[in-house]
Amino acid sequence: MESVGFKEWALVCEALGRGEQSIILRKGGIAEGRAGFQFQHREFFLFPTFFHEQAAKIRTSPAEIPPQGEGEIEINLFAKLEESLMVTSWETAVVLEPWHVLQRDVVRERFTYDETPGIYVGVVRIFRMTTPWIIPDLPAYGGCRSWVKLPIRTNLQMEAVLSDREHAACLEKFRATVGL
């Protein structure tokens, strides 16, 4: 089975790993292709990306992100996609704030990017790996794309960030909010 990474801001990955965020919001990168962004995989590793402006683009106090080794990527989180949908109503996008840490203007920017307003929303269950997975930072991981192929990873030991009960309650509330 191939290993797939989903590129996401390191601060968002940390919020997912602390249980402060339960959804991923995505419009798509420049390199997504003609079809645009899709949640192509039901299970994937969270591949943290780093740039200094992230802290100003979230609503919560940023967590301390451990420094990455030169030329390395440290992967700590695994995600299972529970639900995915395209939200085309700005009002619906706004009511999703309890499930993510992004500033409203960041969501608005993604929502209005390109000629078709809307944003993809994925509800994820997050698992923290008991041992971090450190891989070399290769040129193949660069660029504005959401998905990257990773080396094969087997024998994963991980634990759920939210308990079964907490996750079920979060998922139920999300479904009721968006009318699923």
Q: Which residue has the tokens 């802290």?
A: 55
Q: What percent of the chain has pLDDT over 90?
A: 62
CATH number for 98: 2.30.130.30
The whole-angstrom separation of Cα 39 and Cα 25 is 11
Look at residue 2 in the predicted model and tell me its pLDDT.
67
Look at residue 32 in the predicted model and tell me its pLDDT.
64
Expressed as residue numbers, the domain containing 101 is: 3-178
Q: What percent of the chain has pLDDT over 70?
A: 87
The whole-angstrom separation of Cα 90 and Cα 105 is 12
Class of residue 137 by CB neighbours under 10 A (exposed 0-12, middle 13-18, buried 19+)? middle
The answer to whether 50 and 141 are in contact (CB under 8 A) is no
The whole-angstrom separation of Cα 86 and Cα 27 is 9
| pTM for the predicted model, two decimal places | 0.89
Q: Which residue has the tokens 């698992």?
A: 127
Look at residue 142 in the predicted model and tell me its pLDDT.
85
| Total domains in the fold of the chain | 1
Task: Tell me the pLDDT tens digit for each residue of 103-129.
Answer: 999 999 989 988 888 999 999 999 999
pLDDT higher than threshold 60 for residue 52 = no
Question: Bigger pLDDT: 40 or 29?
Answer: 40
pLDDT higher than threshold 70 for residue 33 = no
The whole-angstrom separation of Cα 67 and Cα 135 is 14
112 vs 32, 66, 93, 178, CA distance in Å?
A: 17, 33, 11, 19
Look at residue 107 in the predicted model and tell me its pLDDT.
94
Look at residue 69 in the predicted model and tell me its pLDDT.
65
Looking at every residue in the chain, the average pLDDT score rounds to: 87
User: What residues contact residue 131 under an 8 Å CB cut-off, 6+ apart?
Assistant: 157
pLDDT higher than threshold 60 for residue 1 = no
Residue 100 burial (CB count, 10 A): 22
